[in-house]
A and B are shown apart, each in its own frame.
Chain A
Amino acid sequence: MRESPPSAKLVLEDGTIYLGRSVGAPGERCFELVFQTAMSGYQEILTDPSYCGQGVVMTYPQIGNYGVHPDDEESHRCWPEAFFMRQLSPVASSWRARQSLGAYLKEREVLAMDGLDTRHLTLKLRRQGALRAIFSTEDMDEGRLQAKLQQHPSLSGQDLAQKVSCRQGYAWSQGLDPEFPVQDLPVHNGPPLDLVCLDFGIKRNILRCLVQTGFRPWVVPADTPAEAILERKPDGVFLSNGPGDPAAVEYAHNSVRNLCEAGLPVLGICFGHQILAHAFGGATEKMKFGHHGANHPVIELETGRIDITSQNHSFAVQAESLKGTGLSVTHLNGNDGSVEGLRHQELPVQSVQYHPEAAPGPHDAAHLFARFRQRIRPQS
């Protein structure tokens, strides 16, 4: 690990330059930068479709320590436009490791860099908010890179769900790996309930948790109209996480509204939660730098219960916008008081901003899946 000349360059929209070592695929990309504060779970992060359109900075400096394993994939591919680390591990040390992260990044054609001062970059993002940036292993000319970056649109107004969603419906039947059980989420042995999952970029662990809880998920593309879903006569509908601006997916606002009004029990997570707000006329806003980590306290207002949650979002539901929508706030973020959960006052509809399926992150909120099922079919 002798100092090798910088082989990659990251240029931010404010002109800041970070040099480092290219440790992934060659190429050049523009994106919006966010920082992730989880200390483990880089593979889950890399394969989370919600990162589409974003570059991810890992705040924990040692990444890749335990390699990668196929079971830890949250989707069929890696999504971040680029991945930034302080130090990529030279070895993969775990009985589970099947491949080193370095080899994986190259194989999956992920642009990646290490050797940069990730804390400096993180503090910059905290102070200035999420920034647009360009990363290149090909062109080291700052002027040209800046020019290319100026062409790149911001995340706001972008419908990225279309980009990451499945093209056609499919069934999901795999539950959680019994070797890695989740606290408060025992296997449900009753007859499974049919659940249609609107895929805005769904993570596999959500599906695994749903199966574990006694659902039979059928995953459909983001733009599936309400009628097509209603035709399947499901017991409930699930709205997944996903990337991009929730305001931009108007088609989904409408179909979700229809599904809710049809009286179907609905659960939304993250992007799905934001869609739900929009469906009833609420609004979302772009956050300064969002929540991307595995240590966010969320307070359930009714019980005072606090769960430490996994989070990954750059947009949030505006609390004031909920007036008259029929939706009420059920959860708040313990750190900044932002909206973390909603429930409809009459309809069996609820949503959370955080990730009860974790992956990566703590399992505190996994009970949410069981509670959802309970509400649909009590004591079954």
Chain B
Amino acid sequence: MPRRDDLESILLIGSGPIVIGQACEFDYSGTQACKALKEEGYRVLLVNSNPATIMTDPDLADRTFIEPITPEFVGRILEQERPDAILPTLGGQTALNTAVGLHQEGLLEKYGVEMIGADFEVIQKAEDRELFRKAMENIGLRNAPSVVAHNLAQAFAGLEQVGLPCVVRPAFTLGGSGGGLAYNRVEFEEVVRRGLMLSPVSEVLIEKSLVGWKEYELEVMRDRSDNCVIICSIENLDPMGVHTGDSITVAPAQTLTDREYQRMRDAAMAIMREIGVETGGSNVQFAVNPEDGDMIVIEMNPRVSRSSALASKATGFPIAKFAAKLAVGYTLDEIQNDITKETPACFEPTLDYVVVKMPRFAFEKFPKSDSTLGTQMKSVGETMAIGRTFEEAFQKALRGLEVGRDGFSGKKTSYQADELRQKVARPAPGRLFAIYDAIVAGHEIEEIQRLSGIDPWFLAFMASLVQADQALGQDGIQGLSRNRLRNLKKRGFSDARLASLCGLGEGELRQRRLGMEIQPGYRLVDTCAGEFQAKTPYFYSTYDCMEEEEAPQPGRRVIILGGGPNRIGQGIEFDYCCVHASLALREMGIESVMINSNPETVSTDFDISDRLYFEPLTLEDVLAVCDREQPEGVIVQFGGQTPLNLAEGLRKAGVPILGTPVNAIDRAEDRGRFAALLRKLGLRQPENGIATSPTEAQQIAERIGFPVLVRPSYVLGGRAMEIVYDGRDLDRYMKEAVSVSPEHPVLIDRFLEDAAEVDVDCLADGKDVLMGAVMEHIEEAGIHSGDSTCVIPPISLGESIVEEIVAATRALALELGVIGLMNVQFAVRGDNVFILEVNPRASRTVPYVAKATGVPLAQLATQVMAGRSLQELGAREPGSNEHIAVKAPAFPFAKFPGARADLGPEMRSTGEVMGIDRSFGLAFAKASEAAGRRLPISGKVFLTVKDADKRQVGLVARNLHDLGFELVATDGTYKVLRRHGIPVTRINKVHEGRPHVVDLIKNREVQLIINTPLGKVTRYDDGMIRTESYQANIPCLTTMSAAMAAVEGIQALKEGHASVRPLQDYFLSVPTA
């Protein structure tokens, strides 16, 4: 069936900020869908609040709305734009839930909009646990025994049927949010309460636990002619009990006999038909009892998912693109396989390699949270590796994870009595390394299997790798014959690992290896195991390669290094830059070659670059690609810290680095050289010093005065960065920090309390400097820039201050010889401007600046790096716009119960949103709403502020009162407000008896919280208040400036609806009348 001609315009819904469970994969799928629909000639409308996405680039869709993804705002878009259809199956759970909301509120019907991709009934059937269970019964499949509960009483009644241990799953949440495993009644009550609170329909499913069963996923596509194909099968290395997003997974399935696999395939197809998905992709999860093969259906997602992105990258089959085409009427046989270009998409990919995905965690950012993995996803990113064998892929994935591991290795050599067994049994990050140790310690595979539930097939290979690893460690370099080295390389051993086993430097081992003529070859990911010729250059390296495939032709080419797995502080923003670099190079007629290991990203879409290498971002793997490609340069400044860390090694190996010289990076990062640079330019920085010992630290702190900001050198995302207020605190920190990073000294800066913080992104070509934007942070200095709300243009800085900032930025860029992007962080106190930090590379804010100003910074930077001058490019600085754009962070605190939800110098947000409108208040309100902290327009506000803020609180409170809010405050603030004559109710602090403030929050009796913490020691109450507010999803403002911004926002919201307006209209070159 051909394209539907009855549709003209389609609204695609994105997934919003990057949060745990919903990351770049939906930018990948949305971008593909957007391109596919445009290709088909539709008018494409798009809504996504996340400015760091490629999909929100204004040239991708016809009308791009950076607006909150809520039924209310999307409803306004429908009202204003009247698209024929909405496509909600490519924007994760957010898009699906929003579509359901639109349907339920009657807005789809009201505006005559059709839901395509999946309809309401399909979504209900798949997402509603009870309906789903019945549907499975209809087709003779089984779910785990379960009951649905809407309150605690029902839950306990249900528990009688299901028994412990059991899994609690809230309905309609993403990434298993709020769900969990309960082994006892206390745990059970806790998880049920949380689940009921987090489920938008207050519904939880209580399900018999299948912990220890094997877990599988099938990615399925079905079209309206009932053609149904399996794109990929995935087997989880971690058994049931660990969320699939947190599991190490392997494609294809390894340990199913054909009969079992076909039974599962039949089941998946029957499910597609029963649920009624007929125009797109879905994923179905199964549990299989390792004892007898008993198969149980866990769940299905009637949409493109994280696993579909993985499956697309693992097989070369672009699921999202095809899902979009199916949604507009095509059938699978009418679509061509992108890779072979001659066979139809109606087939099933077959692999001749093994794919391993590993999750990346960030528990170190959330101290006190439990790092045990369960049914709620906690990982913040992932890496994928392709190898010819499981061993090769497994070891590549381990080094691609960038957690300081160069392959499969151990943790330590001695353990307490049962410690090792416990570590093997407990699913947590790094369990693999305990398994290594257990194998070394002589534990039998059977025992490790019993403890961990990991299939013996995987364990057998692990054991064999340990054996090889240990044997080489014993034999040393004398034992490393050519045959043995080649064999070890085939099994995925990195040069770094082999070198350390042999007591050599990595470079030495590399030389020895090259001397023996052992090099990797590159193989194509071709969807068909070599049966047809692949037209798409998508490669992975392997040492099992007799002959090269598709060797590069002579020509100009540049390699772009991606950012590897997402982590806090390095995510989609950098991928955005890498993608733009690739597009810019291609436009210039230079071949772009991408290296990245993150399957979620747009940069690893084989459509983006001329050649894609799916490889770990280590020096060894990158140099190997450089050897093959012989690029005229490598771009390291777009992928975040990962490629930057490789710059020096690449330079030493003679690989040309494009843009800003490596020396400039060092000048900006080396404290001594940096201070000299600032002195030379007559710029000011907070007083500072470098300490290599605790004593030295105390001396420096005494010299410059407390409070001080301390951090280890060379860190990303403010890891281990803290503000300390006295000597004792400093002593504690020094002991922890030095243990964090013994190689590097600790940097100590005077902390400028109550200063305003400003970020600047600019672009330079060595001669000229183009200012991207000056961004003012709403929060005072001291909160990591990635975690602060900020605004373009600055709203409270005087013109002369802005001029001074701009002048300083220009001077720095020229002095450093920046060619490409640079980010500078300033602190402004009174009339004084201080330089906090200079980063001669792409920053996290580049996409935000681009979306707020309409200037494609990353593309321009790439052209500059490739040798063009700004003058040649005719690039102009953004003019003054009529609009205001506010960026706000999204936090994962709700996923880490127990962890404190404070903001500080260490970054903890996972993503960001943008609110754009004609006034600051509206833009702020939109940003808050998009970040999930919707500002109330009526109700109760709770205030508790530190003494320094008590002068300002009166004004804020007065405004809130005038806006019709009821006010509640703790004693100190209460008294101040009473003195101002503002009506307010007093509430107990936690230690003052009950009911107290936390009760109030837990009962959701307040709609907004203004809580500015006392600087020195965050009091118990403050921590509780903020932590509880995140759990209860009540917006909590922690600075007076944010509080005032919120008041403005609320005022604006009350005065009239925030309008929706596409980016394209903000940047019309011709002013509208």
Contact = CB atoms under 8 A, between A and B. Distances in A.
Interface of A: 1-3, 35, 37-41, 44, 59-62, 65-66, 69, 71-72, 86-87, 89-91, 93-96, 117-120, 122-123, 126, 177, 179-183, 293-297, 299, 304-306, 308, 334-336, 358-363
Interface string B441-466: 00000000000000111001100100
Given A72-B259, A119-B388, A2 B487 contact: yes
Nearest to A67: B257
A308 B529 contact: no
Contacts of A95: 289-293
Given A1-B464, A65-B254, A120-B547, A93 B455 contact: yes
Nearest to A125: B530
Contact of A39 (B229, B252, B293): B252
Interface stretch (B344-352, B644-652, B686-694, B888-896): B344-352
A47 to B, nearest CB: 12
A23 B291 CA distance: 29
B229 A308 contact: yes
Interface in B199-223: none
A227 B260 CA distance: 42
B464 A61 contact: no
Contacts of B470: none
A66 B229 contact: no
A118 B352 contact: yes
14 contacts: A2-B487, A60-B350, A62-B354, A69-B257, A91-B460, A119-B352, A119-B523, A119-B530, A119-B545, A123-B530, A182-B262, A297-B333, A297-B344, A304-B225
A41 B253 CA distance: 12
Contacts of B353: 61
Nearest to A299: B333
A336 B531 CA distance: 12
A69 B464 CA distance: 25
Given A90-B460, A94-B255, A182-B266, A61 B346 contact: no
B439 to A, nearest CB: 14
Contacts of B389: 61-62, 86-87
A41 B262 CA distance: 10
B532 interface: yes
Contacts of A306: 225, 227, 332-333, 346
A89 B269 CA distance: 30
Contacts of B529: 35, 37, 59-60, 119, 122, 293
Given A295-B347, A362-B262, 4 more contacts: A1-B464, A60-B350, A94-B257, A119-B529
Contacts of B258: 38, 40-41, 44, 72, 359-361
User: Mostly helix, strand, loop or mixed at chain A's interface?
Assistant: loop
A359 to B, nearest CB: 7
B347 A296 contact: yes
Given A183-B269, A294-B350, A305-B225, A91 B456 contact: yes
Contacts of B531: 35, 37, 59, 122, 126, 293
Nearest to A295: B348
Contacts of A122: 352, 529-531
A334 B257 contact: no
A39 to B, nearest CB: 5
A90 B255 contact: no
A9 to B, nearest CB: 15
Given A293-B350, A304-B225, A120 B546 contact: yes
B520 to A, nearest CB: 13
B1057 to A, nearest CB: 49
B811 interface: no
Given A362-B262, A362-B265, A66 B257 contact: yes
Interface in B278-296: 289-293
A33 to B, nearest CB: 13
Q: Which of B226, B261, B483 has most A Cβ within 10 Å?
A: B261
B549 A123 contact: yes
Given A91-B460, A96-B293, A117-B546, A335 B255 contact: no
A288 to B, nearest CB: 11
Contacts of A179: 293
Given A126-B530, A305-B225, A72 B257 contact: yes
B690 to A, nearest CB: 49
B343 interface: yes
A120 B266 contact: no
Contacts of A86: 388-389, 544
B530 A40 contact: no
Contact of A295 (B291, B350, B457): B350
B333 A334 contact: yes
A123 B547 CA distance: 10
The 7 A-B residue pairs with the shortest CB-CB distance, nearest first, are A41-B258, A360-B258, A93-B457, A59-B529, A3-B487, A183-B266, A295-B348
B390 interface: yes
Contacts of A297: 333, 344, 346-347
A72 B260 CA distance: 11
B1009 to A, nearest CB: 53
A306 B544 CA distance: 36
A336 to B, nearest CB: 8
Contacts of B455: 93
Contacts of B342: 335
B484 interface: yes
B518 interface: no
Q: Which of A62, A118, A183 has most B Cβ within 10 Å?
A: A62
A308 B257 CA distance: 19
A66 B256 contact: yes
A95 B455 CA distance: 11
A2 B485 CA distance: 11
Contacts of A1: 464, 468
Contacts of A62: 254, 354, 389-390
Nearest to A3: B487
Contacts of B483: 3
A194 to B, nearest CB: 28
B267 to A, nearest CB: 9
B544 A335 contact: no
Contacts of A304: 225, 333
B457 A65 contact: yes
A335 B229 contact: no
Nearest to B487: A3
A119 B392 CA distance: 15
A337 to B, nearest CB: 10
A118 B353 CA distance: 11
B381 to A, nearest CB: 27
A126 B529 CA distance: 11
A240 to B, nearest CB: 20
B425 interface: no
Contacts of B486: 3
Contact of A363 (B253, B262, B388, B460): B262
A18 to B, nearest CB: 8
B185 interface: no
B836 interface: no
B345 to A, nearest CB: 9
A358 B262 contact: yes
B679 interface: no
B499 interface: no
B703 interface: no
B263 interface: yes
B528 interface: yes
B899 interface: no
Given A299-B333, A334-B344, A61 B528 contact: no
Nearest to A292: B531
Q: Which of B258, B260, B270, B456 has most A Cβ within 10 Å?
A: B258
A3 B484 contact: yes
Contacts of A360: 258, 262
A98 to B, nearest CB: 11
B599 to A, nearest CB: 20
A35 B352 CA distance: 12
B164 to A, nearest CB: 26
